[in-house]
Structure 1
């Protein structure tokens, strides 16, 4: 995978591969410098005693160190596990127990649990100057990297992907991005977010383009100025970032920008229209998940029609399934991807039964509902379970409820995604207790035990939670109680 991503380095060694943008300038990395840093890191990981096939858990911050360490591990045939720096010690302890990693790649400023050998950020940076290791080439179907996703069971699940997953990403170049070697793609996300890692870094490098990343902590209000100053031709962000930009700015003068990209959560028609009105540029949406790379999208060559997401990218096999197989065009069913897709996961690590449960014959069931029109365009119709979406991160309500249930005084708790205003959603916790609990203490407890994107933004005390006749919690019914409390 790493050899594929940096394959353009020999042809264009002096071209800028990455610019980290600040208010006053940029930190630039050429393709030659990036290649040397990645291959030197591979040498360093070998010298640290880590062998091909072993796992390293990444606990690094929002800096260029993250993609260098990630690709360095891949270059050495070592299996990296990228994780959000927002995870708490408690959450990483579960991962370490689950993975038994050979090492944790650790920035001391990022929380991590004990229990594994650590390679420090200082040691990782020193590795870049080492002689380059040869790329560990092998079977493209072998385990390449692991990402974590929250499942409906409430336990974060380790999703194993093969090296071949990088091939699937090329279908996005025309099917979503409209990406060429001449582009300068600015991604608004953090280095250590998988959306940024793929769309913002690896894909531009694979195409021989230039990746632009704002420095950590950049205010969204500054992004239009950075887009203009850096001559960005493509902008990628989650819908929430577009929303913040448009809240502060009217017309946007971005002469070099060709279009925008968005993914992570459903894009509303109002936000889409507002962006196009402010910029005069198109905005193209995509749909994917941790278990499979983005596979449905609109693009400059094939814009979405009406409320549709777009269509399956060329080379993808996508179906809408009912209980007895594919449903007629126009009818609702579960969005499914064929098992032959190179971007589809190898499976959930050490969980063959859970992996099998997601398959229906030759089809992987996404758990998302949709309908396909006669022209192939797919309309998204929501989740078939209670999974929440917090700023582009999928979050299991059970995972959050399990943590909050340990807070003293809570007798029952349920969480749900609620709409606080038009086109803005947050996670809210509804709980029962003999009397209302101190909200500041509840928020502090959540902050100490849950990653920020999993933390409820509101805590609502109820005399009882809605349940079905069998006593099972009805999470979708919780939303009805939110306006009653906040009005």
Structure 2
């Protein structure tokens, strides 16, 4: 039987109309204001022949108008395709075509990419945010209810091979993600969730969704401004903040001898476990760090480690949220404690599948369980330890980078005969990609990087290209990425 809930924003505006919804720079919207603005924008979006079930792409940076546009899309019943602003026009065009988007809305920062996208997607209507705001309204009535089975959002995540996959996130996925988080962290009438991460990432979008479900204000930042964020934390203007390790380290360095307000109650840390020195600093300053493990496919966190266990269970991601389950599979069987295998998860916040990818769905989903592709183990107390994020995933400043995607671009160059990419330690970003390339031509690093820039987002560009004689491969000709760093001494 289909489960339905009242339109979330409409219900929230009815229940707590004067409660703050979003605070951005010097502007604040209550939930009543946000609903009125969302309905107004929805009437303008539908004037572009957008109706329930259609897909609308957005290329919008963190801004109060972005909040309104996202909620406006939900009023229309359209699916929102969240596009990473850092991708190239070619990468963006492919996602728009794969998702069969009918409309693309871009802010001023992304207008330079629209022409190239339009060339590759001639059937796509592309408009700027300012054009949308000035558009005429069509006759329109907001959705009365949301079906928990309906797709709310689409986000693309890179695969270990080939093209990225579109993750289908339903209203039910987001509902249970928010519910599971609240059961773990609790709620307070004083809560304000600080959002410094991009809204086009699941980490950012999940904050927006929790805001309307909880009735909690979000203090939205256009970028990661260390001084401004620390001042908010010191003055008690934020009670929960989502970060990755590199962000937390920068906050601690700027904080010096100061301390956060007593109302600050949760530093939600994703993107891998924090070093012991960072956790000890946080403990000494009374900063509660909740380490998490999650992904786009789980609509944000699915495993969380509470502060009281952060030192005792150093390196662990924690235990699953209340509605979720985690197990380790090895040789198609449940692995016993402390035995490494693939991390497999289950829960109502887990996606129902990938868009247009029957092959990936058959590979990844079995009897309600999702195979993450990550390697880890459970200790005797049931705590999850993640050893290898999606095999060779590189996490650089909180961004996921898959070596295969960079390798495919390198191998498309006519003078490259073989290529491998490996994440290397970096003091600023945690990890950065290094490329190992075999070429029989007089190809320079500068030439190859210029080629990559035309096909890859800036954050995916190799930090360094090493030219070598050959790459390590096993008997099946599979690239042994873990051996690539050993080739640096052999660089030509």
Q: CA deviation at 1:479?
A: 2.6
1:336 aligns with 2:340: no
Q: CA deviation at 1:85?
A: 0.8
Within the candidate set 215, 219, 228, 1:212 is matched to 219
Structure 1, 157-166 or 470-479: larger mean CA deviation: 470-479
Q: CA deviation at 1:59?
A: 1.9
Give the secondary-structure state (helix, strand or coil) at the position aligned to 1:310.
strand
Larger helix percent: 2
1:453 aligns with 2:435: no
**Quick one: structure 1 residues 106 and 363, their matched pair in 2 at CA, closer, same or farther if it must change by over 3 Å?**
same
Counterpart in the other structure of 2:384? 378
- Please give the alpha-carbon distance, in whole angstroms, between the structure 2 residues aligned to 1:309 and 1:483: 35
Q: CA deviation at 1:124?
A: 2.8
Counterpart in the other structure of 1:312? 320
Counterpart in the other structure of 2:67? 67
Counterpart in the other structure of 2:81? 81
Counterpart in the other structure of 1:95? 95
- Once the two structures are superposed, what CA deviation does each residue of 1:301-322 show, in whole Å capped at 9, x if it has no partner? 8767412211111121222222
Counterpart in the other structure of 1:361? 367
Please show how residues 18-167 of structure 1 align to structure 2 within 5 Å: 18-21=22-25, 26-110=26-110, 111-112=113-114, 113-114=117-118, 115=121, 116-126=124-134, 133-167=141-175
Q: CA deviation at 1:391?
A: 2.3
Structure 1, 104-113 or 122-131: larger mean CA deviation: 122-131
Q: CA deviation at 1:74?
A: 1.8
Please show how residues 315-326 of structure 1 align to structure 2 within 5 Å: 315-326=323-334
CA contact (8 A) 2:337 2:378 kept: yes
**Quick one: structure 1 residues 31 and 139, their matched pair in 2 at CA, closer, same or farther if it must change by over 3 Å?**
closer
Counterpart in the other structure of 2:14? 10
Counterpart in the other structure of 2:278? 271
Q: Which runs of 5+ in 1 are unaligned?
A: none
**Quick one: structure 1 residues 164 and 362, their matched pair in 2 at CA, closer, same or farther if it must change by over 3 Å?**
closer
TM-score (norm. length: structure 2): 0.88
**Quick one: structure 1 residues 328 and 137, their matched pair in 2 at CA, closer, same or farther if it must change by over 3 Å?**
same
CA contact (8 A) 1:40 1:133 kept: no
CA contact (8 A) 2:9 2:35 kept: no
TM-score (norm. length: structure 1): 0.89
CA contact (8 A) 1:188 1:236 kept: yes
Give the secondary-structure state (helix, strand or coil) at the position aligned to 1:70.
helix
Give the secondary-structure state (helix, strand or coil) at the position aligned to 2:7.
helix
Give the secondary-structure state (helix, strand or coil) at the position aligned to 2:13.
coil
- Please give the alpha-carbon distance, in whole angstroms, between the structure 1 residues aligned to 2:157 and 2:165: 5
CA contact (8 A) 1:175 1:299 kept: no
Give the secondary-structure state (helix, strand or coil) at the position aligned to 1:404.
helix
- Please give the alpha-carbon distance, in whole angstroms, between the structure 1 residues aligned to 2:136 and 2:327: 45
Counterpart in the other structure of 1:187? 195
**Quick one: structure 1 residues 32 and 321, their matched pair in 2 at CA, closer, same or farther if it must change by over 3 Å?**
same
- Once the two structures are superposed, what CA deviation does each residue of 1:13-68 show, in whole Å capped at 9, x if it has no partner? 222211123xxxx3212211111122222222222211101111112233233232
- Please give the alpha-carbon distance, in whole angstroms, between the structure 2 residues aligned to 1:6 and 1:273: 44
Q: Which runs of 5+ in 2 are unaligned?
A: none
